[in-house]
Chains A and B, each alone.
Chain A
Amino acid sequence: EVQLLESGGGLVQPGGSLRLSCAASGFTFSSCAMSWVRQAPGKGLEWVSTISGSASSAYYVDSVKGRFTISRDNSKNTLYLQMNSLRAEDTAVYYCAKDPREGDDWFDTWGQGTLVTVSS
């Protein structure tokens, strides 16, 4: 069974940092691009970042460029999102999501989400 399990969310002060992790199982992790998608409370879905299977390419939404870094460890089947200089508007549930295959940038499997709250 394909599974994604996020961890690392929590309460952080504005300007602080947090690292999210997503443990993957049930598929060939290194063959799939992986993404982070977030959802602010009561709002719609917002794509945050995507990394290719080999980690050779990464893409970001403009609002997080220079603050967030996506990475992956294919030996550990784990995806990461390092979030620095956090702002109140980064408060959201963060989902990791799997592309079905390289180049098909829709998401066929999602994790349960982890809540990040940025507040003083």
Chain B
Amino acid sequence: DIQMTQSPSSVSASVGDRVTITCRASQGISSWLAWYQQKPGKAPKLLIYGASSLQSGVPSRFSGSGSGTDFTLTISSLQPEDFATYYCQQANSFPITFGQGTRLEIK
């Protein structure tokens, strides 16, 4: 199974800050990676797919990069509605696996 490891597990930031979250796969997954945002009590929302493609309707301040084993999600200028938990997910092979999540908190 492919293990997905996110870092950091939590991060505190302020509105307007630039934030980067990292996801590392235990083996190469090409660009078969997605990023999700989840708010408390809500279903996850797809932000990025194919490592760097922005899902329709997602603000352009979100961006993704990477391939192989190392990936990043960047939020260029944090907005109040961005405080949530973020997950990466590999779609290279079954079993599909998620990272453990990164909680983005208000400083």
A associates with B: yes
Chain A: residues with CB nearer than 8 A to chain B?
A: 35, 37, 44-47, 50, 59-62, 95, 100, 104-108, 110-113
**What is the CA–CA distance of A12 and B80 in the complex, to the nearest angstrom?**
39
Q: Does B106 lie at the interface of the complex (its beta carbon under 8 Å from any beta carbon of A)?
A: no
Interface contact A61-B87, CB-CB below 8 Å = no
Q: A61 contacts which chain B residues (CB < 8 A)?
A: 95
Known: A45-B87, A110-B44, A112-B43. A50 touches B49 (CB 8 A): no
B44, B87, B100 interface centre (most CB from chain A within 10 Å):
B44
10 shortest A-B CB distances, which residue pairs?
A106-B34, A110-B43, A47-B96, A105-B91, A59-B94, A45-B98, A44-B101, A106-B49, A106-B91, A108-B46
Contact of A44 among B87, B91, B96 (CB under 8 A): B87
Q: Which residues of A contact B65 (CB under 8 A)?
A: none
Which residues of the partner chain A approach B38 to less than 8 Å between Cβ atoms? 45
B43 to chain A, nearest CB (A): 4
A95 to B42, CA, bound (A): 10
A100–B49 CB distance below 8 A: yes
Assess the A47–B95 pair: CB atoms within 8 A: yes
Partner of A47, one of B32, B45, B55, B98: B98
Nearest CB in chain A: distance from B77 CB, A: 25
- Chain B residue with the shortest CB-CB distance to A111: B43
